[in-house]
Amino acid sequence: MADGDDATDVDVDESSFLTGVTSIEGVSWSGASGVDVGRLARAIVGTAVFTVAAGVNTVVSGLTAAVTGLIDGVSEFLAGATEWFRIPGVGWRPTREAGLIEVIFGTGIAAIRGAWSFNVDTFGPLSLPVGLAVVLGTFLVVARGIEQIQEVI
């Protein structure tokens, strides 16, 4: 490298690690007469501590991102999520994906609504007892299912 071409812009005064400089016969430069071991050791330990701190920071950042991603994933699985997609020439549009809770309760509610509307059209004045029987039967099935799940867990 030519003079002034330094790979880094950091100026390091190497003489700060030396205890003294003596002239050497027959050469045009001076030589070190000793090394300040304490100052050199502090530089090495400081570099090692910085490296360990940077590693710990990276690990903590990675763990935080992993836990946050896990919580977001569970939340989206249970409650659903809205994703945005781009339609060329139109722009960004949302699409809603149902979560587990919405699918379970949505299906149950749709079944009960369907049973009530079917009963009113089919059974006339007897639709109330038939509808109540359907709703109570649905709750019985759900209760048995919850009991089975609790036994497994």
% of the chain beyond a pLDDT of 70: 75
Q: Residue 82 above 50 pLDDT?
A: yes
Whole-number Å distance between alpha carbons of 17 and 120? 95
Q: Which residue has the tokens 């036994």?
A: 151
Predicted model pTM: 0.46
Helix (H) / strand (E) containing 21: strand 18-23
Helix, strand, coil shares of the chain as percentages rounded to 5?
A: 65, 15, 20
Q: Dihedral angle at the C-alpha atoms of 56, 60, 63, 69, nearest 10 degrees?
A: -140
What's at 50, amino acid-wise? F
Q: Residue 10 above 60 pLDDT?
A: no
